[in-house]
Amino acid sequence: MTQEPFLRTFRADRQGIRKILGDLEAEIMEYLWSHPHTLGVTVREVYEALSAQRHIAYTTVMSTMTRLAKKDVLRVTTDQTAYRYVPTMSADAFLSYVAGRKMEEVLLHFSDALKGPETSLDTLERARRLLEEISKHRKPEGGA
């Protein structure tokens, strides 16, 4: 992945990747992750798979995949006849990335509150252990 995905929305009331992506975006990504194609897939291929399960317009699938590419969740390549889309990361890497970023946002947002005298040493120690555990599983910046 050359650049980080641009993901601003977080819906705590939803499950899995739907916390971050819209329903159709999530459905498309789940399809792509469960049907890996090294050369990528066309909008037509995704449309045919999704339309077999529900009524959906080709243009809706196309605009949603374009939006996912703008968010850097999909990478677009072109062959002589069509655009091909490939996920920029695996499902596990995506979830790990999102969890790490959201944890970072929460810690940054509440960091001043954690400095207060009301915060117990036990709470701070648990936060430190959690951060250490997260750090063990992260790749170094710029690493492979």
pLDDT in tens, 61-82: 999 999 999 988 999 999 888 9
Look up residue 19 and give its two tokens: 């916390």
Spell out where the chain has E strands.
Answer: 74-78, 83-87
Does 105 reside within a domain? yes
Which domain, by its residues, includes 102? Answer: 91-137
Is 120 found in the same domain as 61?
no
Cβ–Cβ under 8 Å, residues 10 and 20 = yes
Answer yes or no: do 40 and 62 share one domain.
yes
pLDDT at position 99 is 72
Nearest to 64 by CA among 24, 31, 104, 100: 24
Domain boundary among 46, 66, 87: 87
Residue 47 has pLDDT above 90, yes or no: yes
